[in-house]
Structure 1
Amino acid sequence: MQRVKDQQHSRSTKPATIHASAQSGDLPAVQRRLRDQPSLINDRNPVMANTPLHVAAGHNRVEVVKFLLNFSGPETVELEAKNMYGETALHMAAKNGCNEAAGLLLSHGAFTEAKANNGMTPLHLSVWHSLRAEDSSTVVTLLEHNADCSAKDNEGMTPLNHLSQGSGNEKLQALLKSYLEQQRKVRAIEACSGTKAKMDELEKELSNLVGLHELKLQLRKWAKGMLLDERRRALGLRVGTRRPPHMAFLGNPGTGKTMVARILGKLLFMVGILPTDKVTEVQRTDLVGEFVGHTGPKTRRVIKEAEGGILFVDEAYRLIPMQKSDDKDYGLEALEEIMSVMDNGKVVVIFAGYSEPMKRVISSNEGFCRRVTKFFTFDDFTTEDLANILHLKMNNQTEGSLLYGFKLHPLCTVKAMATLIETETTKKQRKEMNGGMVDPLLVNAREYLDLRLSFDCMDTDELLTITLEDLQGGIRLLSQ
């Protein structure tokens, strides 16, 4: 009998768990437990997986909350730890109307937009508490810390939606509506400044493109429309999501088709239409298999890789045979695979190639023109265009490039360069190479400079200056 009494006494005098001490507000007991076993700072209780901070915040034990937040042992408190319902300590304080504890948590950086498993934020839960207890102090505290009034739970409900279903607290409804309107205005201002920055970024990219005036105009129109939609949504307006059109780029090699595709990728990512700015560049060999049954899986893998960005199919006309054959060409199969995913919105497809052969692609599939709605012609560059491209390249050399550190002689004006290109190249050569001639021309010019200089040259300016003579030598090497 005495042994039973001793065991009962032992159980009754057993120290309370840190969670029990946090719940009762027994700060000395919490301090002792953490001094003896610092790892208990984030210990989970067996039922709800609450930490001591959850428990203290949910019972408004302010001194315990303060101690836990400032604890500086070998482990520190996990401010955003979640219990079995996905709730943080701020959720616990909010749903129980523990305003002082909520204020402490917020002052230490607690995330106001943390979502529980049901998608509710602390503001959702504080509104529910205010309906039951007619105490909206925690709602006010959260709003003062910019809690999002437009946040939606898993059922698509905002805090205000929940309140409107309640007993009709007009004062709290007015408060939430007031903050919602303020937040919309702030977002609109932020969106406005962000819109200008994005347009400036686009203009910077377009400034590196020579010619292509019609396409630049179209890019600006798309950008403006999509950025205005961004501002509309920031104001809380509901507008349909634009789906970027699939396109065909028609023109000779070197006219800037790939460069424009990369700029377009940046634009669509910048305004949130595409989740990435990647451009996956492919040709027939990347899509078409050698045997029956190989092309479909191969093309689908490429499409999967391109999802979220742009699939740029260069020399797309090579997918369509020049002459009809009794045997089905595998290129047609690849094209059909691409066409089958163009309506799902997961990838933007750009078909590129020579203008005349591309007519085969356009006429090969009755759904092509329904899906590909924008056609852009990339004209051959004039000699003045080529001279401008040369100047742009020289003025934008990166540290890793072969011509980094070099400059053009003042006599190498755009007009002088245009005349030189006109004189030293043929029309056929310019048509076949277009902008593709500029890089090898400059590399040749640097080699000509090296050949022209002697080892006795000590003039640092001369060592780094490419002259008209060097460029002329570079063009002649190109022609050879």
Structure 2
Amino acid sequence: MTPLNHLSQGPGNEKLQELLLKHRDEQRKHKAIEACSETKAIIDELEDALSDIVGLNELKLQLRKWAKRMLLDERRRALGLKVGPRKPPHMAFLGNPGTGKTMVARILERLLFMVGILPTDKVTEVQRTDLVGEFVGHTGPKTRRKIKEAEGGILFIDEAYRLIPMQKADDKDYGLEALEEIMSVMDGEKVAVIFAGYSEPMKRMNNQAQDSLLYGFKLHPSCTVDVVATLIERETSGKQRKEMNGGIVDPMLVNARENLDLRLNFDCLDTDELLTITPEDLQAGIQSLSR
């Protein structure tokens, strides 16, 4: 039997080629419509969960933005586009007790489970005493047991700043050993880690490395060097430019990519639109950096 792709390339088979292309387009359109329906269902469920939170409007806005970015990335991957690696996100929740950190973690877990980033909808809550042993050699196994228990879901570490010794020379504090065990699994795909605690003490914790969110995205042709330079000159102060130098570009682009996701809707978008950062996005990105 002659393959269809061979027939479509033969003389007099232009009509067959046209029918094949039409069939493929219809299949893609059908898949896109299905994806739109699934995405809207997830967003509706997220909104139901957020309606249970009283106040915290700024936090709700951030959660919506984050969820939209994640769902749009799922759409991009479904269309075969190359974007950044799909790994569980690790976060830091800063705030006093009773501000909803644990509740938000549970909402995030439901969302991560719904879009298939994590295979379960469980949150494992731990504190320093659940991770750190009293003697040499106790902390590693103790921490690894909790990490194993949390696999497939979220490891929520409350009062995470207590893992950092108050004094750098305190060699009898095994909190750093627990933190190192946790960080060793953060590059994998088995668990999402949330560090939570008071704002000021949490500043003692080191920033965690993150994969670039920019892989696979591109600038619109109108985003010329002159346009970008003008934006930076106009939207930042001389002090910012002096302190950050070339380091200003990466956070500007990350913020611009966030603005891209914020302005896109979940209608059936073409692949170019899903991946293209415009001057509008760059301007929003540099303005966010300035704030």
Give the TM-score of the pair, scaled to structure 1.
Answer: 0.39
How much does 1:356 deviate? 2.2
The reply to whether residue 169 of structure 1 matches residue 7 of structure 2 is: yes
Structure-1 separation of matches of 2:21 and 2:145: 49
Q: 1:182 aligns with which of 12, 17, 26?
A: 26
Q: Which amino acid aligns with 2:152?
A: G
Q: 1:239/1:283 Cα in 2 relative to 1: closer, same or farther (>3 Å)?
A: same
Cα distance in 2 between the residues matched to 1:318 and 1:249:
14
Give the distance between the partners of 1:194 and 1:371, measured in 2 at CA: 28
The CA distance in 1 between the partners of 2:177 and 2:202, in whole Å, is 17
Does residue 370 (structure 1) correspond to residue 209 (structure 2)? The answer is yes
Are 2:107 and 1:273 aligned?
no
**SS state at 2:105 partner:** helix
Does residue 129 of structure 2 align to residue 290 of structure 1? Answer: no
Alignment size in residue pairs: 205
What do the CA deviations read for 1:51-108 (whole angstroms, capped 9, x no partner)? xxxxxxxxxxxxxxxxxxxxxxxxxxxxxxxxxxxxxxxxxxxxxxxxxxxxxxxxxx
Q: How far did 1:244 drift? A: 4.8
Name the Cα RMSD after superposition.
2.6
Cα shift at 1:253: 1.1
C-alpha distance in structure 2 between counterparts of 1:317 and 1:203, whole Å: 31
Note the 1:66-465 alignment, pairs <5 A.
130-131=1-2, 164=5, 168-170=6-8, 177-234=21-78, 236-240=79-83, 241-360=85-204, 362=205, 365=206, 368-371=207-210
Q: What is the CA–CA distance in structure 2 between the aligned matches of 1:274 and 1:173, rounded to whole Å?
A: 41
Q: Is the 8 A contact 1:191 1:230 kept in 2?
A: no
Instruction: Tell me the CA shift for residue 287 of structure 1.
Output: 1.1
Secondary structure of 2:203's counterpart equals: helix
**Do the aligned partners of 2:87 and 2:188 also contact (CA within 8 Å) in 1?**
no
Per-residue deviation, residues 166-221 of structure 1 (Å, max 9, x unmatched): xx222677665443322221111111122111111101100111222222111111
Give the C-alpha shift of residue 350 in structure 1: 0.7
Letter in 1 for 2:75: R
* Distance across 2 between alignment mates of 1:188 and 1:268: 21
Q: Counterparts of 2:180 and 2:88 in 1: how far apart (Å)?
A: 20
Contact 2:88 2:191 in 1 (8 A): no
**Inter-partner Cα distance in structure 1 for 2:101 and 2:170:** 34
Whichever residue aligns with residue 124 of structure 2, its letter is T
* 1:255 aligned partner, one-letter code: T
Q: Percent identity?
A: 77
Give the number of the structure whose alpha-carbon radius of gyration is greater: 1
1:264-290 Cα offsets, whole Å, 9 max, x none, are 111122222222222111111211122
CA distance, structure 2, for counterparts of residue 334 and residue 318 of structure 1: 11
Q: Which has the higher contact order (CA 8 A, sep 6+)?
A: 2
**Cα 1:173–1:298 shift into 2, 3 Å:** farther
**Secondary structure at the counterpart of residue 140 of structure 2:** helix
Instruction: Specify the SS of the correspondent of 2:155.
Output: strand
Matched residue SS, 1:281: strand
Describe the SS at the equivalent of 1:312.
strand
Maintained 8 Å contact 1:286/1:299:
yes
Deviation at 1:337, TM superposition (A): 0.8
> What whole-Å deviation, never above 9, does each CA across 1:320-355 have from its counterpart, x for those lacking one?
232344424111100011112212233221111112
Residues 228 and 371 (structure 1 numbering): CA distance in 2 closer, same or farther, change over 3 Å? closer
CA contact (8 A) 1:229 1:239 kept: no
Between the aligned partners of 1:332 and 1:231, the Cα distance in structure 2 is: 39
Return the TM-score normalized by structure 2: 0.63
